[in-house]
């Protein structure tokens, strides 16, 4: 997991299988960003192929928190299985999902 910044937007790059042990690190990153009033976040999952339910729950929690502070989390997903997961769970109605990072950045 890597955290970078692009055009004042914080970008989390997730790779491979995102399992429960990654949730603590992700929780720490989200908490620090919200405390420092950073309210534009993109989670880039172009190199991810699996995400556990705990991490999905965290992302929903922090999206709600950011929305209440006029912020947002946008996702970049290209993996068909992940896209299907977001469709089945109806999380594609909660998150804006883009096919590349530039589109997600432009959406802000």
pLDDT reading at 2 higher than 90: no
Average pLDDT score, the chain: 91
Q: Write down the pLDDT at residue 26.
A: 85
pLDDT reading at 76 higher than 90: yes
pTM for the whole structure: 0.88
User: What is the band of 7 on the pLDDT scale with cuts at 50, 70, 90?
Assistant: confident
Q: Write down the pLDDT at residue 22.
A: 83
> Both tokens of residue 65?
């928190």
pLDDT digit string (tens) for 20-63?
Answer: 888 888 888 888 888 888 889 999 999 999 999 999 999 999 99
User: Taking residues 2-20, what's their average pLDDT?
Assistant: 88
């Amino acid at each position: 997991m890597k955290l970078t910044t692009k055009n004042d937007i914080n970008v989390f790059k997730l790779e491979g299988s995102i399992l429960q042990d990654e949730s603590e690190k992700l929780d720490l990153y989200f908490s620090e960003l919200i405390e420092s009033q950073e309210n534009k976040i993109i989670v880039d999952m172009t190199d991810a192929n699996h995400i556990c339910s705990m991490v999905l729950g965290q992302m929903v929690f922090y999206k709600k928190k950011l929305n209440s502070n006029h912020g947002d989390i946008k996702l970049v997903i290209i993996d068909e299985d992940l896209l299907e997961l977001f469709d089945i769970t109806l999380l594609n109605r909660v998150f804006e999902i883009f096919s590349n990072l530039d589109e997600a950045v432009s959406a802000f």
